Structure formats: structure tokens, C-alpha cells
Structure 1
Amino acid sequence: MIIDCAYYRDGLRQHVEAMSVEDAATHCKTGGFVWLGMFEPTADELKQVRDSFGLHELAVEDAQTFHLRPKVEPYEGDVELVILRTARYDDEREEVDFGEVSVFVGPAFVITVRQGVASDLHGARIRLEQRPELLETGTSSVLWAILDQVVDGYGPVVAELERDIEQVEQTVFAGAVAPTEQIYSLRREVTDFYRAVHPLLAVLATVERGARETKLLPYFRDVHDHLVLVNEEVAAQRDLLTTVLEANMAVIGVEQTKVSVRQNATIEQLTILATVFLPLTFVTGFFGQNFGWLVDHIGAEWDFVVLGIGGLLLPCVALFLWFRRQRAVRRQAT
């Protein structure tokens, strides 16, 4: 879909309404330049633009593919294809949305192909149209405006990611266990963001070297400075999330150790209880048998006290002394 198509000359837009692709291609031959903006165009629309402006088929094919990293590719006819990754933080889902902008830059035209919801360039066009002294420099000014818009859009994303990281960090270092899946998801977002930011440094350096107007060099350097700052912050966030993940795993290990200690204590108590009842069960079971000797020789009360009650007390005393000795041995070992 064609969003806007305008012809610029002498630093001014020459008409209000958007022109057709054919008219734009004709104006390219009369001085000035054309800026054609497209959003998720169809194959037929891209073919029309390719035929009208003489774009290389590989460049057009490249603009239809979603890339993981920014890049710049030169083509015949002094045309460059600059691919940028855009980013926007969604407050409702608390996730980062990524988009892409493919920019065809020639001496007399700029064609932008946007993919994804995070790739709006309307603000860049409006701001550049308010700077006629920059528009007079030609198509390089459009590329600067787009780069400036994209890099400025990284700032809010960095701030929101920093807020999410601080929340997870506070949870982990407070001794509580943060959801590991949440940390992994956040680290994946930061890694994807780093892939969008870091390669753009090389792209921007290439664009600076090939800038057609020296008047724009300070503006490109300003974008470069902002990009370096964003790159350092994103790299620091990625390293911090690695530390948070390791700390979270340590907290999980401590919690599992506590559970194991409690389970061991319970098992030890049950073992002691079973050990106590084992000889008692044996004694009561033995004297509960109807052997003739037991029936004939145990008839008095003292026989019952000595053999019955004493038979129960004796193993209890023996077990008490044995447990006491084992506890003293453990204390000496520690």
C-alpha cells in the first residue's frame, strides 16, 4: 500500500496530495527528488515501482524478506538499499514489537518499504519538511531523517526494558524465586533488540562515508552518538540479565536444598519411630503366641511385669542409649 508519494525541489514539497507512481518517476528526471513511502506492499505494487524506477530485481526481492540484522547493499545506478530494524514497546503485552524499513536511496528518489507495526515514518517526513535547508541537500537528508526517527524510537524501548529488568532483579535479589521463563523471555527480547541495534553501527558508518553532502555529516554523527549510547545500554542489559538468570538459578538451588533438608528431617523422624516400634512389635508378638510353655509358666502378676513390661522397657532403654551415642558421634564429627 502506498502511504505517500511527494516530489521535492528547492527544499519544498511541490504539491499537497500524493502523486501516482508514474508521475513520480517522471518528476525524477526534472530535478529535485521523489520520496515514495509504502507499507507492506503487494507483489504487484513492488513490480510497478521496480519497473517505474528501474530498481534491481534482487534489491526488490530483498525488501520483501524480513531480516534479523540491518545492512546496506550497493546496486547499479548509484542506488543503495539500506535495511533498518525498528522497535516499539507494547505496554499492554509488556513486549517489544519489531518492524523493518527498507530504504532505496538514489540520486533522484527515495523509496521506503515498511514492514510491521513498529515502522511508522510519518513523523520523519513531517519533521524534514519543516527543515527546507536540509531538504535542499537531496536524498541523503531523507535517509538521515529516517535513521534519526528509528534511533530515537529505540530510547523508549530501552527505558521500558530497563524497568522490566529492575522488577525481575528486585524479586531475585530479595531472595524470592522469579519465574525462569519470564527471565528467558526478557533476555530473548533484549538479544533481539541488540541484533537490531549493534549492526546498525556499521551501516551508519557506511552511510556517513558515502554521504553526498558534507552539510549532513554533523547530523549523521549526532545519530551515531545516540546509537552508540543505545548500543552500550542494550549490551549492559543483556549482561545484567545473564547475571540475574544465574542468581535466580542459585536461589532455586537454595530453595530446593531447604526442601531436601525438611524432607530428610521428616524421614529421619519416621525412621526413629519405626526403629522404636520394631523391637516392641517383636516382643508383643512373641508373648502373644499361644505356646504351651508361655501358657504354663506365666501365670503370676510378677511374671507378667518382668517378662511383659520389662521386655518392652529393655529395648526402649537400649535404643535410647544407642541414639544418644550416635548423636554424640555426629557432634564430634562436625
Structure 2
Amino acid sequence: MLINCVVYQNGTKLADIPVSEISEYLSHPDAFVWVALRDATPEELEEMQREFDLHELAVEDSRHGHQRPKIEEYGASLFSVLQLVEPVPDHPGELNIGEVDVFTGSNYVLSVRNRSQKGFLGVRARCEGEPELLRHGSGFVLYALMDAVVDRYFPIIDQLETELETIERDIFSKGSARSNIERLYELKGRVMVLKHAVAPLLEAASKLYGGRVPHMCAGVQEYFRDVVDHLTRINAQIDNMRDTIGTAIQVNLAMVTIGESEVTKRLAAWASIFAVCTAFAGIWGMNFESMPELKWRYGYLMALGLIVVACSLLYWRFKRARWL
């Protein structure tokens, strides 16, 4: 569905125009057309392909969706794929993966947003509020869209880091080993979702500043460098989180091993105590007629007392060694 179709000239908004008039304004000097679509149908994409003369391969990628983040050149135009990572309001802890495809030429910008509820009206308002920058044309709009997408990653990674800190505190709580492992692996999955959105985009965006860059980005290279700096920072945070999660999993498994060792020691201590009882009972339970203790009046009491004393000494020793 069509969200906006606006023509700009010399950094200021000229008019909202219908799609059928796009080709007329593309020939105006110092003007460019900015079109925004949401969940575009194949028919809408075909219409935009005719109006902007888009490359067939780029349109095909946008039609199929679920693309890896990338920035590709097709002649004098750019095709950019950015992944939108958003929390699901009704399901805390889950992440929705959307996508925005941006077609950028010298005199047009076409953004196609898919599987995402959060739009880019704020980006348009920001650009219109900075006409001196909007004069750079479609290159600045591409930067503004990329910057908005990257800025949305920061709250996600802050949320993931907070959750990781909570799990780390719970690792040393008794009886939480299984739940901690499940939470850590679930968190690891969400971290990887963000990694798959950030790492390819970092590699692709690095081509938009320094050295040879597409002509529409020539005047805004420092802005793309700022985006790359943000992506580098996020990527480093993700790598640190992955390392921390791996360490937390190892610590949690170590705590499980320690817990099992404690149980083993307790069982061994009680087995030793009962072994003493069994040994004494076995000695006096032998069927020999000439055992002197069998005819003694206080032999039974002595045997019970000896067993109690021996078991008490063992209990005290194991208690002192913290086996019980």
C-alpha cells in the first residue's frame, strides 16, 4: 500500500503527487521523488519498476523478501536491504524480523517496508526539518533511513544485555540450573537474530564512504561513516554478549557438576555410616557357638552402644569436612 509519494526540490517539499505523475517530475532539475510503500503487492512493484526504471533483479529480490542485508549497485542506482528487528508487544522476549528495501537513484528514493508495524514518518519529518541537508538529495534520504534502522537496534541490545545480567545473577541460585540453560539458549538465539541483521549491513555500508562511492552518496560520506561507527559498536556489543553467554553456560554447567558432587559426597558419607552398622551387625550375626559376647548379659547393649558411638564419630567427622 502507498504511504507517501512526495517530490522535493532544493531541499524543500514541493508537493504530494500521484504515482502516475512520478515520471514527469523525475526530469525536473534539482528535484527528486521519495515514495514509501508498505507490504507492496506485485502489481505495485511492477508499477514502480516502470516509473523509476528499476532493475529486474532488484525488484525480484524485493518481491520475494527475506533477503540478507546488503547494498548492491545496478548501473546508476543502489538497491539496499535492511532488516528491521522489533520486539513483539504481546509476546515479551520475542523478536519480529521485518525488512525495508530501498531503491536509490540520483533523483528518486523508493522504500518498501515489509512485515513491520513501525513506520518511518519520523525520518521524513527529520529530513524535511533539515533542508540544507536534504539538498544533497536521495543520498541523504538513504542515510536517514539507514540511521533510523540502526538506531532501533540499540534498545534491542540494551534489553538483551539487561536480560543476560539477570540470568547471570540467577546462575548461583539453587535449583535453577535447567531454567538458566533454557533462558541462556533462548537469549543466544535472539542475539544471533540481531547479529544476522548487523554484521552483513556493516560490511555493505562500509562501501558507502571512502574511496569510490556511488555518485548519489558522494556528498554525504561522513554521514555514512557515522552509521558504520554505530554498526561497529553494536557488532562489538553482540560479540561480547555471545562470549558472555558462552561463559555463563559453562559456569552454569560447572554449578550443576558441583551440585552433583555435593550430592555424591552426602550419599558416600551416609553409605559409610551405614556400612559401620552393617559391619558390626555382620560380625555379631555370625553363627558361631563359641562367641563370648553371645553369653554376656550386657552384650546386646554394648553392641548397640558401640554402633552408636562409631556412627556418631563418623557423622561428626563428615560434618566437620562439610560432606553432610
Check whether TM > 0.5: yes
2-side partners of 1:164 and 1:320: how far apart? Answer: 52
In the alignment, what sits opposite 2:266? Answer: 262
In the alignment, what sits opposite 2:95? Answer: 96
Pick the aligned partner of 2:229 from 215, 225, 232: 225
1:204-223 residue CA offsets vs partner (Å, 9 max, x unmatched): 12222225354312222222
Q: Which structure has the larger Rg over C-alpha atoms?
A: 1
- State the shift of 1:97 in Å: 3.1
CA RMSD of aligned residues (A): 3.5
> Unpaired segments of 5 or more residues in structure 2?
315-324
Matched, 1:203 2:201: no
1-side partners of 2:67 and 2:40: how far apart? Answer: 20
1-side partners of 2:308 and 2:11: how far apart? Answer: 100
- For the 8 Å contact 2:99–2:116, the answer to whether it is kept is no
Matched, 1:212 2:216: yes
Matched, 1:172 2:176: no
Partner SS for 2:191: helix
- State the shift of 1:149 in Å: 0.7
In the alignment, what sits opposite 2:318? Answer: none
- State the shift of 1:183 in Å: 0.4
Partner SS for 1:41: coil
2-side partners of 1:278 and 1:156: how far apart? Answer: 70
2-side partners of 1:26 and 1:278: how far apart? Answer: 107
- State the shift of 1:181 in Å: 0.7
**CA distance 1:317–1:104, shift in 2 (3 Å):** same
The aligned runs of 1:42-191 (5 Å cut-off) are 42-67=41-66, 69-76=68-75, 78-90=76-88, 93-117=92-116, 120-172=119-171, 177=177, 179-191=180-192
Instruction: State the one-letter code of the partner of 2:256.
Output: I
Identity across aligned pairs (percent)? 30
Partner SS for 2:216: coil
- State the shift of 1:196 in Å: 1.3
* Residue range with higher mean Cα deviation, 267-276 or 110-119: 267-276
- State the shift of 1:27 in Å: 2.2
Partner SS for 2:190: helix
2-side partners of 1:3 and 1:271: how far apart? Answer: 82
**CA distance 1:185–1:109, shift in 2 (3 Å):** same
1:82-137 residue CA offsets vs partner (Å, 9 max, x unmatched): 11122234576034333211111112221111123265222111101111112221
- For the 8 Å contact 1:87–1:154, the answer to whether it is kept is yes
1-side partners of 2:46 and 2:281: how far apart? Answer: 89
- State the shift of 1:62 in Å: 0.9
**CA distance 1:260–1:134, shift in 2 (3 Å):** same
In the alignment, what sits opposite 2:32? Answer: 33
- For the 8 Å contact 2:206–2:225, the answer to whether it is kept is no
* Residue range with higher mean Cα deviation, 170-179 or 43-52: 170-179
- State the shift of 1:199 in Å: 1.9
Instruction: State the one-letter code of the partner of 2:238.
Output: V
1-side partners of 2:48 and 2:285: how far apart? Answer: 95
2-side partners of 1:21 and 1:109: how far apart? Answer: 13
1-side partners of 2:282 and 2:23: how far apart? Answer: 99
* Residue range with higher mean Cα deviation, 5-14 or 62-71: 62-71
> Unpaired segments of 5 or more residues in structure 1?
288-304, 327-334
* Residue range with higher mean Cα deviation, 94-103 or 246-255: 94-103
Partner SS for 1:14: strand
1:2-48 residue CA offsets vs partner (Å, 9 max, x unmatched): 221111112112225xx332222332233411111111222222222
Instruction: State the one-letter code of the partner of 1:40.
Output: D
Matched, 1:11 2:11: yes
1:141-190 residue CA offsets vs partner (Å, 9 max, x unmatched): 11011111112212212221221111112222577646201001111111
- State the shift of 1:251 in Å: 1.0
Instruction: State the one-letter code of the partner of 2:203.
Output: A
Aligned residue pairs: how many?
306
**CA distance 1:272–1:129, shift in 2 (3 Å):** same
How high is the TM-score relative to the length of structure 2?
Answer: 0.80
2-side partners of 1:44 and 1:224: how far apart? Answer: 35
1-side partners of 2:255 and 2:74: how far apart? Answer: 54
- State the shift of 1:273 in Å: 4.4
How high is the TM-score relative to the length of structure 1?
Answer: 0.78
- State the shift of 1:65 in Å: 3.7
